Chains A and B, each alone.
Chain A
């Protein structure tokens, strides 16, 4: 069944990656809940990770894998900061709506 679709190649992974990225971006742009936005950002980062891994596998070297570890580390740090901000907003307003970040405007 699977073989009838043919070999799964680089393009399939890239299409998946692009789709995930667009979904994440859509979430970042449209959702109001800060927690969901953070999750969407994670989604975008991981979409990029998929394309890295795919390219790495395609070219038979380790460059992409290395980049993935960096992205993961950055994503972890970003999540920590983002969650801290979300907690601070929640403590102040009892809600985590993204519009409260407008109060940071000078």
Chain B
């Protein structure tokens, strides 16, 4: 029975992609959008059905491992087309299909003026299919198919308006950067296969690999896998593609570049958490890269003027938080933040889409302001997202982010340094998000005279409202033990209970010091409130003060506003040398050497053919002579041979 549900779950978006793909010339955005939304809706329904089935099962056997057929069977390598639905993957499936169907619904309104809506929805459905393959695959190879498939869809959708050269280039940048990460992922898969001899997650996780405290093979394999994660999940050093990916339609940014695809790296690490916990060095690298990414991306977000770019850097920064959580061993906190982030960041991306739609494709927040009175629903839902991300107590972001910060101190794998980076980042997050709110929705209107902002249609505001509700209440799935003991009813950490022993425990984790936990929590709330207030004041009343500060710290401002010149550095030190080397190889090796050899060989054959052609001249008597000669030769073999 669950086999049928899984088949429906996977094939429904694929079918939608095919239907819209075959009628890609259609301009009927309502029909195309409805087909796509219904297909994802069916998937969501199937996920809910599977979820309720899982709920009714005993804890120790709470999974479906369904194999459809043998896909590859070579020597000792056996790869079945198998799918795993367990408490970890079902959470991701619910996020993907649930948030995904809301974003599909939103897209109908957003793409109403577009020329190729059927193509757009076809890509979007295909993305959902691949993302489901990624999270449901029972072995690394099926996950890898999904991994590549979402990369392809991301490329197609970033460059969806490919007539604009810059947007097409952004798509290629994303694709190539991801390819670098994928090379690392493949190496990691090879190394794991070498060590375990199987690609199945259950085999790898229960292979009984021994702990690797140094820099052995296991650490190497895990770091290679992490390189793949840095590509897909936009971490240092491969994060550069995500801000450029904002060239795509805004719902795409919400779905692919905030809620689902970019969390693939986190999902992969959580999937393999029993072996990641075995290598403290690999975990430390992950935590450090995550913390640094969170910090630098947040600082870059402060000085951006494009509404989507701010959200993009915010996404990179929040992904950094998730990796910080994974690095200190708090896998549950990582997935928890994936979930709450999916809610509030998808909400804010869709909200920014609603704003951009209303402003006739204007993305510069300097030309906005005072939009509150024109778009009340967008504004109020956006406020919910804002409150959630800056960590307002009892909203979703508060629970997940503070759990990460707390674990980065509490876990024996963490340290105060990691906490400090995360803590400062939380302050910066509150600053740039409040700056975004202030410049977009509050304060004086700087909207040009010829633009008349208006509230979006119901198909766009409905997803906003649903996501706002989820952003507010989504955090109650993971109330920390410290807080829940204070509350009436004693709500447990539902997510932790739900994952059970699928998540490996951190070795040497001490008992929680609730007093410390509360004070850290209070500190981050105070910091967030303080920097939010500062941002509000600076961008409404004290703009002259702000300008003076910028004057004073000109060098630093220049550095951050230009994104630390990372793109320029990559261009000068990596891309240019690559291009130069390719040019040299082309001119000297290819043209001068390889081409020449092939010409010599082909000329020789041509000359030979010319010579042989002379014998076939149509002269019958000449032919007869050849026959005679042949006869003579064969007879001479018989007689003298």
Chain A residues packing against B (C-beta within 8 Å): 25, 28-30, 98-99, 101-105
- Contact of B624 with A28 in the complex, beta carbons under 8 Å: yes
Q: Is A98's CB under 8 angstroms from B618's CB? A: no
Complex: A30 Cα to B618 Cα, angstroms: 16
Q: Could you say which residues of chain A place their CB within 8 Å of the CB of B618? A: 101-105
In the complex, how many angstroms separate the beta carbon of A82 from the nearest chain B beta carbon?
A: 12
- Specify the chain B residue showing the minimal Cβ separation from A102: B618
- The minimal Cβ–Cβ distance linking B383 to chain A, given in whole angstroms, is 84
Offer 16 A-B interface pairs, CB within 8 angstroms, sorted by A: A25-B628, A28-B624, A29-B621, A29-B624, A29-B625, A98-B621, A99-B619, A101-B618, A101-B620, A102-B617, A102-B619, A102-B620, A103-B618, A104-B618, A105-B617, A105-B618
Beyond A29-B621, A102-B617, A104-B618, 18 additional pairs, beta carbon < 8 A: A25-B628, A28-B621, A28-B624, A29-B624, A29-B625, A29-B628, A30-B621, A98-B620, A98-B621, A99-B619, A101-B618, A101-B620, A102-B618, A102-B619, A102-B620, A103-B618, A105-B617, A105-B618
Enumerate the 6 nearest inter-chain pairs by beta-carbon distance, A residue then B residue, closest first.
Answer: A105-B618, A102-B618, A101-B620, A29-B621, A28-B624, A29-B624
Write out the residue numbers on chain A whose beta carbons fall within 8 Å of the beta carbon of B620: 98, 101-102
Nearest Cβ on chain B to A18's Cβ, whole angstroms = 13
B310 CB, nearest partner CB in chain A, Å: 74
Closest B residue to A28 using CB positions: B624
Chain A min CB distance to B614 (Å): 13
Report the minimum CB–CB distance from B277 to chain A (whole Å). 76
Shortest beta-carbon distance from B622 to chain A in Å = 9
Residue ID in chain A nearest B631 by CB atoms: A25
Question: Which residue on A lies nearest to B618, using beta carbons?
Answer: A105
Nearest-neighbour CB distance to chain A for B402, whole angstroms, equals 87
Complex interface bits, B607-638 against A, C-beta within 8 A gives 1, otherwise 0? 00000000001111100110010000000000
Tell me the bound Cα distance from A102 to B625 in angstroms. Answer: 15
When distances are taken between beta carbons in the complex, the residues of chain B under 8 Å from A99 are 619
B 89-102 binary contact with A (CB < 8 Å = 1; else 0): 00000000000000
CA gap between A92 and B618 in the complex, in Å: 18
A98 and B619 CA atoms in complex are apart in Å by 8
A residues less than 8 Å from B624 (CB atoms): 28-29
Q: How far is the CA of A28 from the CA of B625 in the complex (A)?
A: 9
How distant is the Cα of A101 from the Cα of B624 in the complex, in angstroms? 13
Contacts of A98 in B (CB 8 A): 620-621
**Minimum distance in angstroms from A25 CB to a CB of chain B:** 7
CB neighbours (8 Å) of B617 from chain A are: 102, 105
- Chain B residue at minimum C-beta to C-beta distance from A104: B618
Measured CA separation A101–B619 after assembly (Å): 8
Closest to A103 in B: B618
Shortest A103–chain B CB gap in Å is 8
CA distance A103 to B625 in the complex (A): 19
Q: CA separation between A105 and B618, bound complex, in Å? A: 5
Name which residue of chain A comes closest to B616, CB basis: A105
Chain B residues, CB < 8 A from A102 = 617-620
Interface centre among B617, B618, B620, B624 (most CB of A within 10 A): B620
CA distance A104 to B617 in the complex (A): 11
Q: Look across to chain B and name the residue whose beta carbon is closest to the beta carbon of A105.
A: B618
Report the Cα distance A9→B312, complex, angstroms. Answer: 109
Determine how close the nearest CB of chain A comes to the CB of B615; give it in whole angstroms.
13
Tell me, rounded to whole Å, the shortest Cβ–Cβ distance linking B577 to chain A: 57
A30 to B619 Cα, complex, angstroms:
12
* CB-based nearest B residue for A31: B621
Report the separation of the CA atoms of residues A64 and B453 in the bound assembly, to the nearest whole angstrom: 109
A102 to B620, CA, bound (A): 7
Complex Cα distance, B619 from A28, in Å, reads: 12
Chain A residue numbers with a CB within 8 Å of B621 are 28-30, 98
* Proximity string of chain B (437-481) to chain A, C-beta cutoff 8 Å, 1 when within and 0 when not: 000000000000000000000000000000000000000000000
How many angstroms between the C-alpha atoms of A43 and B330 in the bound complex? 103
Instruction: Give chain B residues whose Cβ lies under 8 Å from the Cβ of A101.
Output: 618, 620
Which chain A positions have C-beta within 8 A of B625?
A: 29
Question: Would you give the 0/1 interface string for B150-161, flagging 1 where the beta carbon is closer than 8 Å to chain A?
Answer: 000000000000
CB proximity of A88 to chain B, nearest CB, Å: 15
- A106 (CB) vs chain B CBs: closest residue: B618
A104 to B619, CA, bound (A): 10
Contacts of A29 in B (CB 8 A): 621, 624-625, 628
Measured in the bound complex, the distance between the Cα atoms of B115 and A79 in whole Å is: 76
A101 to B621, CA, bound (A): 10
In the bound complex, CA of A13 to CA of B283 (Å) = 102
The distance from the CB of A29 to the nearest CB of chain B, in whole angstroms, is 6
Tell me the bound Cα distance from A27 to B191 in angstroms: 79
Q: How far is the CA of A105 from the CA of B616 in the complex (A)?
A: 9
- Complex CA distance for A25 and B618, rounded to whole angstroms: 19
Query: How far in angstroms is the closest Cβ of chain A from B356?
Result: 69
- A105 / chain B contacts, CB cutoff of 8 Å: 617-618
Give the residue name and chain of the B residue nearest to A101 (CB): B620
| CA A101 to CA B625, docked complex, whole Å | 16
CA distance A25 to B624 in the complex (A): 9
Nearest-CB residue, chain B, relative to A25: B628
Minimum distance in angstroms from A65 CB to a CB of chain B:
26
| Chain B: minimal CB distance from A23 (Å) | 14
In angstroms, Cα B624 to Cα A98, docked, is 12
A29 to B620 alpha-carbon distance, docked (Å): 9
Chain B positions 1 through 39: 1 when the CB is less than 8 Å from some CB of chain A, otherwise 0: 000000000000000000000000000000000000000
On chain B, the residues within 8 Å of A28 by CB distance are 621, 624
A17 → chain B closest CB, angstroms: 16
- Nearest chain B residue, comparing its CB with the CB of A32: B621
Contacts of A25 in B (CB 8 A): 628
Task: Give the docked Cα–Cα distance between A29 and B617 (Å).
Answer: 16
How far is it, in angstroms, between the C-alpha of A70 and the C-alpha of B628 when the chains are bound? 23
| Shortest CB distance B545–A (Å) | 93
